Structure 1
Amino acid sequence: MRDVVSLCAVTPTGSPAFPITPMLPEILGSLADHPRLVLEAPPGAGKTTQVPLALLDADWLGTRRIVMLEPRRVAARSAASFMARQLGDDVGGTVGYRIRFESRISARTRIEVVTEGILTRMLQDDPELSDVGALLFDEFHERHLAGDLGLALARDVQAGLREDLRLVVMSATLDGARIAQWLDAPRLSSAGRSYPVEVSHVPPKRDETLEHQVRRVVLDALATQPGDALVFLPGQREIARARAQLDATLPGEVELLVLHGELPVEAQTHVLQPAGDGRRRVVLATNVAESSVTLPGVRIVVDSGQAREPRFDPNSGFSRLETVAISQASADQRAGRAGRVAPGVALRLWPESQRLEPQRRPEIAQVDLAALALELAAWGDTALAFPDTPPAGAMGAAQDLLRRLDALDARGAITPTGRRMLALGTHPRLAAMLLAGNDADERALACDLCALLEARDPLRPLPGAPRSDGVAARWQALAAFRSGRAPADAQRGALAAIDTAARQWRRRLKLDASPQTSAPAHLLGDLLAHAFPDRIGHRHARDASRYTLSNGRMARLFDDSSLRGEAWIVASELRYEARDALLLRGAPVDEARLRAQWPDRFSDADETRWDAERRALVGERVRRFDGIVLDARANGRVDPAQAAQALSDAVGVLGLAVLPWRDGLRQWQARVQAVRAWMPELGLPDVSDDALLATRDTWLRPAFAGLTRLDALGADTFADALQGGLDWTRRQQLDRLAPVRITVPSGMARAIEYAIEADGTPAPPVLAVKLQELFGLTTTPTVADGRVPLMIHLLSPAGRPLQVTRDLAGFWERTYPEVRKEMKGRYPKHPWPEDPWNAPATHRAKPRGT
């Protein structure tokens, strides 16, 4: 095996420069014996660059490649460059990388560093990965959606096709025990090498902006502390503002640099190299500097406590980057950057009293899942195991959208269109639009729209000018920029970035067509309709500012909207409000093209619906486009075959409270939800109100068969429908694990009350019982096979609360003597023995004469 120590830089004393080096033989030995490994190593340990190099000559690897996933492009380039230098080679030789729109690999590349979308495409295109011997998932703690998907796919490949494929999950701040258990993998932890870091909090002064706070703290730190400074800011906008403040005030001998994912490669390389002239440096960075890249000379960290992370934005229909508070794990990792080369300081720009979440929430729990749903459909297994299960509601919404985009068929299988969309490597909405053009000019126009939708708004509102809510105004500004005459309200930097992105999309689609210089507004809308088929709108018959959308919702225009008067529109951005959504961005649509492209979405049929005002079913002859009713005329008939669906829809509007809940049904619901949470391995169905409403067509609609009124549904029929999701075996399990009553020492059966908290977690089940009925019971009764102790409400003989406890033995020992002393005089006819441990339990008063 290659001498791994020789791959590392060596200190003057001859000791290895990387803390991970002594562990490399143990890592190699573990992977020789077991195909999976979870490796925890703090920042600076060297795992990113030393582990792949150490694996190169492993016997099990042979001549196959190592593929390492890096979540960030900056880190991917940096890691590949560092490893190549250690081997005395150029990037693209033994070590290379592939990121979006850029590739540096060759036929002799053995270690390939890739970003997340690249790995997913590799797995989808060649599930066997016959020329790959190991997949390494670096910085897995960031929990990006694509990383979770890549690991889930790789685990499936290993289980079914490639038992010899090695999987290594690496991270600095990871819940390693849980991931190792899910992966069924050994877990190794490496010590880091860091110096002490003194952490201080420097909160903002009153009305102080972030950029002014950064200037104040950085100038003070440079004056009192040695070394370079690394400033963590959430995004490029904050970096630009802080840079403007510091440019005017930093001493001339201090070099001011920036680091973010959109920086040119040459600029990134400069930041990651030591200062050649020995000057001190201040680096303004996003969280790309949090892990996987090392900035030499940093002994001062200034942390804003903020980051841009993706969150699903219902306004746009995409996941957007939002400014959020970082987790405590991220704060610790950022602070550690100050202790890489010598003792340092970390200055946190928030109050010490502010508490952070312990770990970063996985993206799978908070982003749009349309791309994930499409990947799973292509893989052919929607039940793939993930470290965190995708939320059922978000997955259902994603699959509904994919059906509208013609990416999935009615059974949920991927269509040929869906496969073409997947190959484009972007959000399914955008992919559908990129494929929609009738010719090369329209597809080039779609590339422009794709770049515009992915970017921040390039137009600035001008005082006194009418509101610009038209997509056409943005595209016209882009066309004007290309001809060298951008309008006054446009940001040239934003338009330049959009133009570059559009050019990359044209290259991806292999389009020779030049960008158009003019286009009718409705053509923009016709293309956008393919990205937002759920947001095509038709003008309300009685209110020209309101539109019915194809998803059944309503939207309204601003009073000075440029779209006022259009019969058909498509909304690319909405602000959802309680009543109507507010259209923020959109374009007109040509009805003739709608009818030509989607004739099956126009219909003319008899329908039965619920009339909320009359609280009754009505029959109508209805012309519609998807969820848009174009015309409806009463026909005086209620179709029994449609009545059940209409009544089910009524429950969706009115809520479950309109149904005949008899005594005990809400307790049954709480019991199922509680056991489902306590014992997830049983796989009990979700019967929360939200889940019941979402699935009402499955369990409730059949109960309405033959009925034409809501109040005609009987309580017994409703109970049978509600409980029908549990077969006989599961009902027996439920009665055993969450019994309705429990027999106490007095011989009486007492009720157990179950409840679900507002956040969906089960509250401790409650047993309310008179104290005398528990004499002789030394341990707290439990449910769920002993996992959950009851919350005992101990009552006086009059049924009033005396004590609440989940520790009955502790109550008898510590609290009962005081209770006895107080209650003995108040209830002399009831037993109050000195020794409750051995006294007979009773639900009666003492016999007369005792």
Structure 2
Amino acid sequence: MRSPDFPIAALLPELRASLAAHPRLVLEAPPGAGKTTQVPLALLDAPWLAGRKIVMLEPRRVAARAAAGFMAKQLGEAPGDTVGYRIRFESRISARTRVEVVTEGILTRMLQDDPMLDGVGALLFDEFHERHLAGDLGLALALDVQAGLREDLRIVVMSATLDGERLARFLDAPRLSSAGRSYPVEVAHFPARRDEALVPQARRAVEQAVATHPGDVLVFLPGQREIAQVDAALAGSDALRDIDVLALHGELPVEQQSRVLQPATDGKRRVVLATNVAESSVTLPGVRVVIDSGLAREPRYDPNSGFARLDIVTIAQASADQRAGRAGRVADGWALRLWPQSQRLEPQRRPEIAQVELASLALELAAWGSADLRFVDAPPPGALAAARDLLRRLGALDGESITPLGRRMLALGTHPRLSAMLLAPRDAQERALACDLAALVEARDPLRSRSDAIAERWRALAAFRAGHATDGNRGALAAIDAAAKQWRRRLHVDATPPREVDAHRLGDLLAHAFPDRIAHQHATQPRRYQLANGRMATLFDDSALFGEPWLVASELRFDAKDALLLRGAPVDETRLQRDFPERFVERGTVRWDADRRALVAQRERRFDNIVLDARPAGRVDPAQAARALTDAVRELGLDALPWSESLEQWRARVRCLRAWLPDDADAFPDLSDDALLATLDDWLLPAFAGKTRLDALDESALADALHSKADWNLRRRIEALAPTRIVVPSGMERRIEYAFDAHEGARPPVLAVKLQELFGLADTPRIVDGRVPLTLHLLSPGGRPLQVTQDLRGFWDRTYPDVRKEMKGRYPRHPWPDDPWSATATHRAKPRGT
């Protein structure tokens, strides 16, 4: 039977009415309100649903399983009847299921496989404030489906701690807010002692909490490793002799998770050590005290590995508030924060889309057939372009279109690098070996000793399987072995991995995951390697890979000059020629030699960007020369071009106009350094036609090239709005100086003119249709500045009398009238004898 004992219950009639009238809704409800388990059930009999399914996205597997179980229990059923769930490697649904709780990857696959969402009437996005990449993508795809195919589809975005007003504006949706169910929570900070690490600090906090407060204790820790360390530290505590210490994280077996989520049957107090899986969507009965480390493991792009890695980061204030609220679910509670009170947290969690590698997202967009989706926060263009470049190297994209291989990679549901490697082998034993490598690459390093050889890690795994002694961490190796078995099951690989393997066989497979990091030994510097992406890498002094002619790097540390190869394996050149024949090419090239400041023509044999052999070629091809000179400017910077003063001024005028006319800025070309360098092929490349030297481009040709970014009508408009010269009352034309600073923006335009030339002029001259006043540098007859002003009228009234008194004796041959308003402006001195 359904339980009405939730704060959200009072809001459910309004929620149903809103969705009957509008297809989208934003629901804000704090933890404990009951939104996760009550909203789906309340919508089951809605007329617009017409017997179709409700699919609810739950970001975490623990929460998905728990939510489905709780709803099924309310209905007096088991999961898989009216309410079911689907998570990675586990499904409890049937033909009778009307509410399906799924995790993020499952929802994306549903949308990709059936954009019509046949049989689905509503999508609910729970805990959207967590801002996982897959959740943002799922919402963007759902909005695209709703706009183009399914106007009747309902979309509800639910969150506990989110800027609901902003989200409601983005979705053009009503916004409803529910009260929570909580008791007062007293928050205190429990700072570390000097040089105290997290584990002993957490142990002290737990012992104090148990001694001074009633109820169970929930401890938030970054990840499994810290949970295990704190668990071990608490095992020796006399204060916790009669207390159960339990772990809660996403990798636990279902039975252990269920035990933590159920009340203690024996009445014993409990200390639960949890990741941020306990932050939302799951309820832990009996908790009265929360101890918060203020840390979480979240994905961040690691350029060393090419993957998003889970890094320990400081949580946002919204997460801290939500964690503290867990102490007030059943009675008054206490929250101990293990960071100083002076430490300030970011208000909200940053979306993953802004800080992770985007190859998986780019592949999903290519499969969808359009990147023109509405994201709450758009993916960064640079990261998305880099992701597409990688996908082309992996063979997943042809231009912007997904390839058949790309679709097979997408179906595996892992990072495209690993998908490409898992699909590359040609026999069963190699596929089993690829599964080992996928597990090794994704895992934390199992070796205790430092080594840059992947082969040593695989041999430690093989020794662990055989029950032999190994230098590796047995817990880490067990996890890697389990992950490899899981991959073999997913890929239907019946073969077992070999017991022994040559190191290059590992590299031959890894080359399919890291084609951009295949490396060839430098001809004269044996520790240096050129990478397929054009960069250079260096080995450790004691590298186990020293002497190998070909390598593939699975992990690099990027520095300004050479990267440092942290982990890799040798590669067999014969296998490269078999697997990547299209990347071995021979062609004529023309490149810029920075030392000689000249073009060099060569006949090169290459693997991708690795030059294997080069010999001098004959005449320089004009088209290649123009391209090489353009690339030289890209490398040297815009200062390598012959800028004239007038062209610098024209560029400054255009940049200023973009700043002065923000509503019309796009009408003018972007002439910033970044924009010009990004578009060199459009405006500069044609100017180098027929040229073989950088200094063959003169000032006139450069001016023509830059002016090509504005057509004739626009150039006339620029001249009218921001003229180079202005006629002053003396009848003379005087120059206007423009300046644009990259940091400060558009500076006021300057007119330097002798004071006598402005007699009779009351107001400061203006440009840009009167919007921008000139800054007047009023000069003495000798050309020295007397006053800088944008208020000419105020100068005549207040300052000129003092200037006249001082200057009249110094420059007697120039007019200094008592009344500058009626005097005749002039650029000449008085005639002799006057």
The answer to whether the superposition gives a TM-score over 0.5 is yes
Shift of the 265–824 alpha-carbon distance from structure 1 to 2, 3 Å rule, reads farther
Counterpart of 2:72 in structure 1 is 84
Counterpart of 2:348 in structure 1 is 359
User: 5 Å matches for 1:210-249?
Assistant: 210-249=198-237
Q: 2:234–2:240: 8 Å Cα contact kept in structure 1?
A: no
Are 1:513 and 2:486 counterparts? no
Counterpart of 1:485 in structure 2 is 468
SS class of match (1:89): coil
Counterpart of 2:560 in structure 1 is 578
Report the Cα distance in structure 2 between the residues aligned to 1:196 and 1:437, rounded to whole angstroms: 59
Counterpart of 1:474 in structure 2 is 457
User: 5 Å matches for 1:429-468?
Assistant: 429-461=417-449, 467-468=450-451
Q: Offset at 1:598?
A: 1.4
Q: Offset at 1:395?
A: 1.0
Are 1:644 and 2:629 counterparts? no
Q: Offset at 1:311?
A: 1.1
SS class of match (1:98): strand
Residue 332 of structure 2 aligns to which amino acid in structure 1? P
Counterpart of 1:696 in structure 2 is 680
User: 5 Å matches for 1:53-68?
Assistant: 53-68=41-56
Report the Cα distance in structure 2 between the residues aligned to 1:208 and 1:478, rounded to whole angstroms: 35
Q: 1:618–1:636: 8 Å Cα contact kept in structure 2?
A: no
Residue 696 of structure 1 aligns to which amino acid in structure 2? L
Report the Cα distance in structure 1 between the residues aligned to 2:264 and 2:769, rounded to whole angstroms: 63
Report the Cα distance in structure 1 between the residues aligned to 2:276 and 2:671, rounded to whole angstroms: 40
Counterpart of 1:707 in structure 2 is 691
Shift of the 437–21 alpha-carbon distance from structure 1 to 2, 3 Å rule, reads same
Report the Cα distance in structure 1 between the residues aligned to 2:505 and 2:819, rounded to whole angstroms: 90
Q: Offset at 1:672?
A: 7.8
Q: Offset at 1:783?
A: 10
Counterpart of 1:123 in structure 2 is 111
Residue 223 of structure 2 aligns to which amino acid in structure 1? G
Residue 482 of structure 1 aligns to which amino acid in structure 2? R
Are 1:340 and 2:329 counterparts? yes
SS class of match (1:458): coil
Shift of the 42–791 alpha-carbon distance from structure 1 to 2, 3 Å rule, reads farther
Q: Offset at 1:720?
A: 5.3
Counterpart of 2:97 in structure 1 is 109
Are 1:390 and 2:383 counterparts? no
Counterpart of 1:280 in structure 2 is 269
Residue 8 of structure 1 aligns to which amino acid in structure 2? S
Residue 67 of structure 1 aligns to which amino acid in structure 2? V
More displaced stretch, 144-153 vs 322-331: 322-331
Q: Offset at 1:69?
A: 0.8
Q: Offset at 1:632?
A: 1.0
Residue 615 of structure 1 aligns to which amino acid in structure 2? R
Residue 366 of structure 1 aligns to which amino acid in structure 2? Q
Q: What do the CA deviations read for 1:568-602 (whole angstroms, capped 9, x no partner)?
A: 11001111112111111111111011111211111
Counterpart of 1:667 in structure 2 is 652
Q: Offset at 1:669?
A: 7.1
Q: What do the CA deviations read for 1:66-121 (whole angstroms, capped 9, x no partner)?
A: 11111111111111111111111111111111111111111111111111111111
SS class of match (2:47): coil
Structure ID, larger Rg: 2
Q: 1:669–1:688: 8 Å Cα contact kept in structure 2?
A: no
Q: 1:309–1:321: 8 Å Cα contact kept in structure 2?
A: yes
More displaced stretch, 191-200 vs 640-649: 191-200
Residue 847 of structure 1 aligns to which amino acid in structure 2? P
Report the Cα distance in structure 2 between the residues aligned to 1:389 and 1:179, rounded to whole angstroms: 14
Shift of the 63–565 alpha-carbon distance from structure 1 to 2, 3 Å rule, reads same
Counterpart of 2:529 in structure 1 is 547
Residue 75 of structure 2 aligns to which amino acid in structure 1? L
Residue 560 of structure 2 aligns to which amino acid in structure 1? A
Counterpart of 1:258 in structure 2 is 247
Name structure 1 gaps, 5 residues minimum. Answer: 1-5, 11-16, 462-466, 831-843
Q: 1:228–1:299: 8 Å Cα contact kept in structure 2?
A: yes
More displaced stretch, 131-140 vs 714-723: 714-723
Q: 1:566–1:588: 8 Å Cα contact kept in structure 2?
A: yes
Shift of the 725–792 alpha-carbon distance from structure 1 to 2, 3 Å rule, reads closer
Q: Offset at 1:692?
A: 4.2
Residue 605 of structure 1 aligns to which amino acid in structure 2? R
Report the Cα distance in structure 1 between the residues aligned to 2:236 and 2:577, rounded to whole angstroms: 60
Shift of the 429–241 alpha-carbon distance from structure 1 to 2, 3 Å rule, reads same
Q: 1:829–1:846: 8 Å Cα contact kept in structure 2?
A: no
Name structure 2 gaps, 5 residues minimum. Answer: 807-816, 824-834
Report the Cα distance in structure 2 between the residues aligned to 1:618 and 1:32, rounded to whole angstroms: 71
RMSD: 3.7
Report the Cα distance in structure 2 between the residues aligned to 1:350 and 1:56, rounded to whole angstroms: 45
SS class of match (2:553): strand
Residue 708 of structure 1 aligns to which amino acid in structure 2? T
Q: 1:134–1:165: 8 Å Cα contact kept in structure 2?
A: yes
Q: 1:315–1:575: 8 Å Cα contact kept in structure 2?
A: yes
Counterpart of 1:179 in structure 2 is 167
Are 1:27 and 2:15 counterparts? yes
Report the Cα distance in structure 1 between the residues aligned to 2:228 and 2:155, rounded to whole angstroms: 40
Report the Cα distance in structure 1 between the residues aligned to 2:427 and 2:24, rounded to whole angstroms: 49
SS class of match (1:663): helix
SS class of match (1:80): helix
Are 1:269 and 2:254 counterparts? no
Report the Cα distance in structure 2 between the residues aligned to 1:785 and 1:143, rounded to whole angstroms: 47
Report the Cα distance in structure 1 between the residues aligned to 2:550 and 2:430, rounded to whole angstroms: 20
Shift of the 97–639 alpha-carbon distance from structure 1 to 2, 3 Å rule, reads same
Counterpart of 1:840 in structure 2 is none
Report the Cα distance in structure 1 between the residues aligned to 2:426 and 2:459, rounded to whole angstroms: 21
SS class of match (1:7): coil
Shift of the 767–81 alpha-carbon distance from structure 1 to 2, 3 Å rule, reads farther
More displaced stretch, 221-230 vs 281-290: 221-230
Equivalent in 598, 602, 609 of residue 584 of structure 2: 602
Counterpart of 1:318 in structure 2 is 307
Residue 484 of structure 1 aligns to which amino acid in structure 2? G
Are 1:163 and 2:163 counterparts? no
Shift of the 657–214 alpha-carbon distance from structure 1 to 2, 3 Å rule, reads farther
Are 1:847 and 2:832 counterparts? no
Q: What do the CA deviations read for 1:266-291 (whole angstroms, capped 9, x no partner)?
A: 11111111222222222221111111
Report the Cα distance in structure 1 between the residues aligned to 2:126 and 2:71, rounded to whole angstroms: 15
Shift of the 849–419 alpha-carbon distance from structure 1 to 2, 3 Å rule, reads closer
Report the Cα distance in structure 1 between the residues aligned to 2:712 and 2:79, rounded to whole angstroms: 63
Q: 2:767–2:774: 8 Å Cα contact kept in structure 1?
A: no
Q: 2:649–2:739: 8 Å Cα contact kept in structure 1?
A: no
Q: Offset at 1:237?
A: 1.7
Report the Cα distance in structure 1 between the residues aligned to 2:336 and 2:24, rounded to whole angstroms: 39
Report the Cα distance in structure 2 between the residues aligned to 1:782 and 1:331, rounded to whole angstroms: 53
Report the Cα distance in structure 2 between the residues aligned to 1:477 and 1:414, rounded to whole angstroms: 38
Q: How many residues align?
A: 794
Q: What do the CA deviations read for 1:639-676 (whole angstroms, capped 9, x no partner)?
A: 21101221222123222332344323653675587589
Q: 1:618–1:637: 8 Å Cα contact kept in structure 2?
A: no
User: 5 Å matches for 1:289-300?
Assistant: 289-300=278-289
Shift of the 544–257 alpha-carbon distance from structure 1 to 2, 3 Å rule, reads same
Q: 1:139–1:292: 8 Å Cα contact kept in structure 2?
A: yes
Shift of the 203–618 alpha-carbon distance from structure 1 to 2, 3 Å rule, reads same
SS class of match (2:49): coil
Equivalent in 122, 129, 150 of residue 141 of structure 1: 129
Residue 367 of structure 1 aligns to which amino acid in structure 2? V
Report the Cα distance in structure 2 between the residues aligned to 1:21 and 1:468, rounded to whole angstroms: 59
More displaced stretch, 40-49 vs 653-662: 653-662
Q: What do the CA deviations read for 1:175-197 (whole angstroms, capped 9, x no partner)?
A: 22222222221122222222222
Shift of the 580–505 alpha-carbon distance from structure 1 to 2, 3 Å rule, reads same
Shift of the 785–564 alpha-carbon distance from structure 1 to 2, 3 Å rule, reads farther
